[in-house]
């Protein structure tokens, strides 16, 4: 979607949002500058024009970008007030269950009515690896993630498709929070650990597909906000990209 004030993009996995050391070109910002010219909001500076929020390089899905200063301010206020609706699809190890006694002992993890998993912690830079985020309960920035199981795969509770939604939007939030709860994302090279799906649990084809999945299995599927100029309620949905849809399909087949 594009209008005079903003543009909504379905970012492919593998594309960096803005230039940084090691990624000077081929970024979303480079593409936006080519497409929009000088019309992007300049609030983010030369390296981040129009960028109100971001998703990780290897996460696919929806982003809104401001084309005017007015739109940038108004969208930033909505993100700060946590009124932007963002839902993600994720494929995770295990299957969160309110009856699981292990989860009852994990700090910051609780279940709400209807079986919704709620994870509330602080997030801060990892003490020894500055490229990573870490859960903290002393300081850091408050972060709240909710998730519900869409479908389970394999037995016993080998993996699942989750719908996740953010109350806050911190760096790597879903990935860190699900790993903290013991349900790290399949394919996540930073927070997923060495965990693998067993062929007996999900079938040989599904186990092989999960082991070979080259990125964190995370997709920003829906995005909703109020148009910063017209006041219209805006809602967008992006289907799972081919790689993630293929992973889910083979897991379903093995289940």
- Token representation of residue 13: 């996995």
pLDDT at 144 over 70: yes
**Position with higher pLDDT, 151 vs 26:** 151
Beta strand 60-66 with 85-93: parallel, antiparallel or unpaired? Answer: unpaired
Helix, strand, coil proportions of the chain in percent (round to 5)? Answer: 25, 30, 45
pLDDT at 21: 55
The answer to whether the beta carbons of residues 153 and 251 sit under 8 Å apart is: yes
Render pLDDT for 16-52 as a digit per residue (tens, 0 to 9).
Answer: 876 665 555 677 877 777 777 666 655 554 445 678 8
> Picking from 76-80, 118-122, 183-187, 250-254, which range would have the lowest pLDDT averaged per residue?
250-254
* Class of residue 151 by CB neighbours under 10 A (exposed 0-12, middle 13-18, buried 19+): middle
CA pair distance 181, 119, nearest whole angstrom: 8
Per-residue DSSP letter, 2: B
Q: What is the mean pLDDT of residues 147-171?
A: 92
Averaged pLDDT score across all residues of the chain: 89
pLDDT for 25 equals 63
pLDDT at 149 over 80: yes
Lowest-pLDDT choice from 27-36, 187-196, 215-224: 27-36
**Which residue numbers are catalytic?**
56
Strands 218-226 and 159-166: unpaired
Average pLDDT over residues 95-107: 92
- DSSP assignment of 181-228 equals TT-PBTT-TTTSTT----HHHH-HHHHHHHHH--S--EEEEEEEEE-T
Q: Label residue 129 by pLDDT band (50, 70, 90).
A: confident
- pTM greater than 0.85 (yes/no): yes
Cα 187 to Cα 193: distance, rounded to the nearest angstrom? 9
Q: Are 248 and 115 in contact (CB under 8 A)?
A: no
**pLDDT at position 241 over 90:** yes
Instruction: Collapse the DSSP code of 146 into the 3-class scheme (helix H, G, I; strand E, B; otherwise coil) and give the result.
Output: strand
């Amino acid at each position: 979607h594009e209008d005079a004030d903003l543009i909504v993009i379905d970012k492919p996995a593998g594309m960096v949002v803005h230039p940084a050391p090691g990624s000077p070109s081929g970024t979303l910002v480079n593409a936006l500058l080519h497409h929009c010219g000088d019309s992007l909001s300049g609030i983010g500076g030369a390296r981040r024009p129009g960028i109100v929020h971001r998703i990780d390089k290897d996460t696919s899905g929806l982003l809104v970008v401001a084309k005017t200063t007015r739109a940038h301010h108004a969208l930033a206020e909505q993100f700060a007030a946590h009124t932007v609706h963002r839902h993600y699809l994720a494929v995770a190890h295990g299957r969160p269950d309110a009856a699981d006694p292990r989860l009852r002992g994990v700090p910051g993890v609780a279940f709400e009515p209807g079986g919704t998993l709620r994870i509330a912690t602080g997030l801060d830079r990892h003490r020894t690896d500055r490229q990573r985020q870490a859960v903290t309960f002393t300081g850091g920035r408050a972060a709240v993630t909710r998730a519900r199981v869409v479908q389970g795969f394999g037995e016993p509770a080998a993996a699942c498709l989750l719908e996740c939604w953010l109350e806050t939007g911190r760096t790597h939030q879903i990935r860190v929070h699900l790993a903290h709860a013991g349900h790290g994302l399949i394919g996540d090279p930073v927070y997923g650990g060495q965990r693998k799906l067993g062929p007996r649990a999900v079938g040989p084809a599904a186990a092989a597909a999960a082991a070979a999945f080259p990125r964190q299995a995370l997709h920003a599927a829906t995005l909703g906000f109020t148009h910063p100029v017209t006041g219209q309620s805006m809602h967008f949905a992006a289907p799972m990209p081919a790689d993630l849809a293929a992973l889910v399909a083979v897991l379903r087949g093995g289940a």
